[in-house]
Amino acid sequence: MDMKILAAGAGVPSVWGPADKSFLGTSTTSASRVYFTGHRGIVSEVFYPVLDTVNTVDLQFLVGDTAKTFVDEEKRQDYTVTQPDKRSMRWQATTTNSGHNWRITKTVFTDPGRNALIQRVKFDALNGRNVTQFNLYLLHNPAMDNSGAGDTSRTVTAGTRTMLVASENSRFSALAVSRAWEAGTGGLPMVSSGFVGETDGWTDLLGGTSDKTMSWRNDLASGGNVAQMGWVDLGTSAVTSVSFDVVLAFGATQNEATTTANATLGSNLATLQTTYDSGWKTYTNGLNNQGGTADDQYYLAAMSLKTIQDKSNGAMIAGMGTPWGESSGDANNGGYHLVWPRDLYKFAGALVTAGDTASGTSVVNYLFNTLQQTSDCGASEYNAPGCPQGYSRAGRFPQNAWISGWQYWQGTQMDEQAMPIILAWRLGPSVYNPLWPKIKKTADYIVNVGPWTQQERWEENSGYSPSTIAAEIAGLVCAATIARANGDTASAARYLAAADYWQQSVDRWTFTTTGLHDNDDDEDGRYYIRMNVAKRANMGTGPQIYNPVSGPDAALTITHGNGGGTHDQRYIIDGGFLELVRMGVKRPDDPSIVATLPEYDKILMRTIPGKGDAWFRYNYDGYGERIGGGSYDGLTGRGRLWPIFTAERGMFTIARTGVGSDGIPFLNTVKAFSTPQGFIPEQVWSQPTNVTGWNVDLPTGATAGTPTGSMSPLNWAMGEYISLLASIRAGKVVDIPSVVCGRYNACVVPPVAGEVGVSINVTAHTVVGQHVYVTGNTAALGNWNTDLGVPVAIVPVAPDSTSYPVWKNRVNLPAGSTVQYKYYRKNADGSVTWENLPGGGNRTMSTPGTGTLTRNDTVTW
């Protein structure tokens, strides 16, 4: 049992921890850069010093008896995980094996002032046993600097403590306990480093020839997939419980890590716990309680989102883990702990809704000051030799990136270009005005490249996507508002001209009238498809350059990623069309929106008994476990149900009815899909079903409506819970950009002080491709600029009729003023025809000092 130094080795290939998390957290302080997760009752990935860098796969106890008849792995036992304080990200995990007469209770949090994870542990001997009848081992699997391979582990003496130190590059961790380690031969502490699956502690205790007690003591294991183990001395007193503390500290050097471990263990840990809790209570006390309707899950969602905001620069990651991590290794070192601008927009916006505008502001500044690209390099996506970060264009946001801003994948998703602009607009002039030069670069990029996208929101296909186009339109309208605030009316006019044309054309581009789902009475072949996969025409000099080569009725084929096969584009449906409403581009009663709902629900919605309705992403989705439950492999999977679509549908329902309480059943369903801790997963299991010939099973041992192995919590889903609850309380969808829905007659924007609302009703006959506008001598009407004028719209008045030839909108104008105005139409080629007024003059209206005004006009051309 002498100490040994192992030759350099590898160990079995490293894998990441499971993605279904039972707890996660960090301190609210900037002094602590440690972020932790838990799977079942044990610590899983720990991130340091930034949220994209894993340093630990798992940290757990192994429990044996002194008679050497068993060794139990903590993570395989019955467990409960709770928040002792619902306003703190401190967790209590209790793991029990009553058959083997033991229980472990841990309180998990971080040192608010240091880079250290703390576990306050209580080991109980049950059923008349005492602690002298047990052997307790602490097993740690490091994955230093975001890599399971190439680590080094060694035994180190620091002060009076023996610690286990792991390292790779400039990342060091130090594992220490407040009790002594069990003494071995010569009084040396029983701690050991080894290679996983070969010479590690688990193999020592549970390997094929093991005697179920620790025998190996290796001082050093270098250059492989290492694991550390120490035998905790429980003492000789026949007591029924022992309490002690475990600290996992980090640093840029070995000395920094060990010094931090000693400092934390030498502190009053009860005081550190109180300080940790106080930071979270201060944070939650500053949130919007939504008129008292905010529940515990709302606060958990907000705290979870705050937890995944990096303290170095404000970035926020999609999820603290790797989907199906237990079958994924170093080749997938990004997982979901990367920045996606789309996800970031969704949950940063949710924090703004929750009252945390400071986090939203730091996100916007991160997006434009760190993530936005500043130069052109490479021929096209995934074709950028000689470009250090891969393909780039000035003003472009990468598909996803490390927290530093360094690009990970090289796709371009046009909704991700628009969403940072929308978030900046939402936070107001103090945020967006200083960023205007950078916002302009992105808006110019959208106009030059869109509406076609190299990838849509599911990151698999190129073409014309309703959800992507919705974001692009909203982004350009917001950019136009920011441009006008900064005196750039030329850019504003350019952005609005494009946005209007795209808004007026989205049906022509993505709404099929010859759809293939028309065999049932409530399906008529008229619906939005997931994507029109045609290329952009790029012909001419007018708006026709944005048109696709062919429309949504063309029999083009779309090939799905993840083994979904090749299908006629008209056969594939998703819920992206609802983003047209969420972004303010379409009214919720728009005939095309309403026409798509029956197909969407019949094909993709499934009801989980006792829980509620959920939707698949799209038919033939392969992003999920394989038939039988095997981990996703990218080739033969089956996508399952996504709770975020339940939240999206709840918000659409509120938008459609204007009744907040109509969203409550959807909120309750999302809660029903959550874990016992309140985390909302990316996907939940469905019952066995057939989706247009695509069989989806319920594997043995799985329960419908519970999380799959993809990711839990999904931060996007946590944000949607906040947004839905707030929308229920408000009686409207709280994050629809008002400047967008107001422009397209999709909402009523209340006038501010000094304004009155004016309803415009104008009778005007047109032909297909022509659209009516109004402009005038005030900024709200565009100051006679025909690209800044206000569009008026045909609105539905019954399921099968519209207001035509009456065009409608509402605009807020200066109160108590005389306003000159005039109507014009934009033709399909972008040219303008003014109305024919006697003498060629203008119309005049006098706005009241208070109240409202309605104008009923008739136009001749």
Residues designated as active site: 456, 459
Q: Are residues 594 and 524 in contact, defined by beta-carbon separation less than 8 angstroms? A: no
What DSSP string runs through 216-280?
--EEEEEEESEEEEEEE---SS--SEEEEEEEEEEESSHHHHHHHHHHHHTS-HHHHHHHHHHHH
Cα dihedral 740, 745, 749, 755, rounded to 10, equals 110
In whole angstroms, give the CA distance from residue 175 to residue 108. Answer: 15
Q: Is 704 strand, coil or helix?
A: coil
Phi, psi dihedral angles at 370 (to 5 degrees)? -120, -45
Q: Cα–Cα distance between 241 and 21 in angstroms, integer?
A: 28
Which tokens sit at 317? Answer: 């990651």
Half-sphere exposure of 778 (CA within 13 A, CB side): 19
- CA distances to 463, 506, 516, 622 from 567, rounded to whole Å, are 15, 22, 11, 14
Q: What are phi and psi of 168, to 5 degrees?
A: -160, 130
**Measured between alpha carbons, how far is residue 593 from residues 26, 624, 712 in Å?**
42, 28, 31
CA–CA gap between residue 257 and residue 176 (Å, rounded): 10
Comparing CA positions, the residue from 84, 62, 204, 211 lying closest to residue 138 is 62
Is residue 776 within 8 Å of 821, Cβ to Cβ?
A: yes
Q: Find where tokens 């944005």 sit.
A: 546
How far apart are the C-alpha atoms of 310 and 819, rounded to whole Å?
50
User: Look-up: residue for tokens 């024919």?
Assistant: 836
Residue with tokens 């004016």: 758
Q: Which residues contact 7 (CB under 8 A, 6 or more apart)?
A: none
Q: Which helix (H) or strand (E) holds 558?
A: strand 557-559
377 vs 794: CA distance, rounded Å:
44
User: Which pair of tokens denotes residue 565?
Assistant: 């096969």
End-to-end CA distance of the chain: 99
Beta carbons within 8 Å of 768's beta carbon, 6+ residues apart: none
Question: Tokens in use for 478?
Answer: 């917001």
DSSP H helical segments within 537-642, as ranges? 579-582, 591-604
Distance, CA of 425 to CA of 492 (rounded, Å): 14
Question: Are the CB atoms for 832 and 770 separated by under 8 Å?
Answer: no
Concatenated DSSP letters for 409-454?
S---BHHHHHHHHHHHHHH-HHHHTTTHHHHHHHHHHHHHH-SSBS
